Structure 1
């Protein structure tokens, strides 16, 4: 494909591309692991250091940095006084021993794209209709604090603020305490979306996010850009399997109420569901915490985090009912009680059709290959698409690896992604997608 230079507002720049890769290398030092990944779970010291570096980067380029009441971080640049903002970003927090690219690339890409636009609209001020904002969403990963996508969930009114701030990690530290220690907890809302924020704030015109694919479709096809047109639905559960503590040697098998045995049956039941439904259902148990976790004690309780994901909301409801029946059978077989303590859900939905079309035109104009993809993973855009026009872009992830230290995306694809994001945002700033 050839580039349609007549339609491109902000052309590629070799020096800017070099700076992007250099900044990505620098950012990847925060929480770096020996095997080439990062570990900077939400509101940890490493996450705070990365946030401070980004804040300095933004301020140096004329952006104003602000935090809201759940610790979402914004870099604001006003082009049109009083006008709403076009937001772009992702998240800087990672999974334990996670990859360098997941989330972090999207934040840095948004920062570089918005800085290119800042420079462009200083020279062409009359064409801008909206203002610019970079966002780093708090606790997208949900590894230290549950649930995932917490910052964007509060922002969009899907998660209650006080409940989110009171959420504790495994050591009993609350979200509020952790953010206060970093001095990154705002006292008011920066933006208003819908009517759930009562304290007022700036307006949001639209949102864009770019991310590594976390799948193999683009990599296998040799395609440079993915345009996300829809998302799988998901049910995430926090459950407790409750039994009775006892001696592993002295207590007869028939007398045991072994919570770990019950939890093991639940893990198997999840896999059986996946096998039954095939590729249309993904299931997993990502975390178990065993109490008292002693080698000579029958477990009294196991806390678990489970999830079901499917492209079909009806199938997801069916699988949820099947899981409930499996839990009832396990309670009888293992003589335990299974308590559902929390469930976080989102339905499968399409992304803004006008945004999908716009991103496709941009990619064609830049002479890059593309295909539409459906995301199985949740992203902050999953929340944002329900409240403002939203564009979601993917760049290839080699072999589809993600949430692991060997996660990798080629530099040339990172650069192409920023070019596409920059041009897409330029057209959003000029009103090609209106609220």
Structure 2
């Protein structure tokens, strides 16, 4: 329960799937992911906590404080992006385990208040938050929250053709355990931005998430010889895809700076031969803004651009909406709770938005949710040089333990949660 114990655990987990440049590669349902899950289970077993794994691979450690009561859930995810950072997600799970241990000790301590907790406590390691291997991201928590269908998600396949069901079975984590009933959720995460670092503050209380949507784009051309086919006779799917990628980038310039962010982060090419003009390219475009109308306007502009590109290059291009996530506003009472906890601990805090998606975005639909950030050096994430200081991590554990303590004592009631709404593509 000491800062040194937390730091030792954090740096031990960072060695699982470690990369030479200081990051980690622990994509969902890989052997490295299994190893972190076994570490999680061993941590719980040493403390006598019950562990469960549900039907989509979410992993829970249950700390019984009030027999029969619902659970306050703390956690994040242990999977990573390919060549990702060692802080993203993993920090939140390890912090939650140590925060839970502190809360349990405080409940049973000699100086515990007479009015004890009203809820139990649990820690979760969500499955496939990153979505690097299996799309969409935020998969496990979305199934838990009822936003995604479990059977459909188990049928999702990676680029090698392996399904989620097959991958979880292969590592021994396709579970069937009952999911805990929850009363509230709290998550702590690195910011993945520069605001806390800029302001010199250790804690951010997230008040809202950005509107996000992706386009699954398929470009179909005609396979032909790169040397023998006249330029005028080619229907080059890769050339068309390059034009689409350029437009995805340029659409941000139609709006004020930093209003909209966009990217193409995944691309597959067929037949991927050095002497064959590409016949098929599939890519994923990602659009995000604080204002949903901005994303929708950008999407419509891209669809018009795509039609023009298809006509100009003699291609067939289709674009399908998926992974649409509307703005989520976190409960005002949860923000106030976080600010009071930070003040109690003498930690500076500010309200902050999240441009990235997190498991808390899904959980906020079904339970009162508190989302916390700690600083990220240079705002770098999804990258091996991602970094947060030990001091900031330790402060975050203290903050999460204080928030969790207040939550198990009923400080944030279920009726304060926003009404559940299914995502547009549920």
Fold shared by both chains (TM-score > 0.5): yes
Query: Which among 349, 353, 359 is matched to residue 374 of structure 1?
Result: 353
Partner of 1:7: none
- Give me the whole-angstrom Cα distance separating, in 1, the residues matched to 2:215 and 2:299: 10
How many residues end up aligned between the 2 structures? 410
The one-character-per-residue Cα deviations of 1:141-160 (angstroms, maximum 9, x if unpaired) are 00011111011111111111
What does residue range 12-411 of structure 1 map to in structure 2 within 5 Å?
Answer: 16-123=2-109, 124=112, 126-188=115-177, 190-191=178-179, 202-277=180-255, 278-341=257-320, 343-411=322-390
- Give me the whole-angstrom Cα distance separating, in 1, the residues matched to 2:408 and 2:215: 39
- Give me the whole-angstrom Cα distance separating, in 2, the residues matched to 1:412 and 1:420: 12
SS at match of 1:134: strand
Runs of 4+ in 1 over 6 A off after TM superposition: none
Residue 62 of structure 1, CA deviation: 1.6
Q: TM-score, normalised by structure 1?
A: 0.92
- Contiguous gaps of at least 5 residues in structure 1: 1-14, 192-201
The one-character-per-residue Cα deviations of 1:224-262 (angstroms, maximum 9, x if unpaired) are 111100111100122211111111111122221111011
- Give me the whole-angstrom Cα distance separating, in 2, the residues matched to 1:236 and 1:229: 23
Residue 126 of structure 1, CA deviation: 4.6
Farther-moved stretch of structure 1 (227-236 vs 331-340): 331-340
**Contact 2:69–2:119 under 8 Å retained in 1:** yes
Residue 342 of structure 1, CA deviation: 5.4
SS at match of 2:388: coil
**Contact 2:303–2:319 under 8 Å retained in 1:** no
- Give me the whole-angstrom Cα distance separating, in 2, the residues matched to 1:242 and 1:342: 18
Q: TM-score, normalised by structure 2?
A: 0.94
Residue 107 of structure 1, CA deviation: 0.3
Residue 340 of structure 1, CA deviation: 2.9
The one-character-per-residue Cα deviations of 1:67-100 (angstroms, maximum 9, x if unpaired) are 0100000001111111110001000000111100
- Give me the whole-angstrom Cα distance separating, in 2, the residues matched to 1:349 and 1:29: 34
SS at match of 2:392: helix
Q: Are positions 1:428 and 2:407 aligned together?
A: yes
Partner of 2:417: none
Residue 30 of structure 1, CA deviation: 0.4
Residue 362 of structure 1, CA deviation: 0.5
Residue 339 of structure 1, CA deviation: 2.2
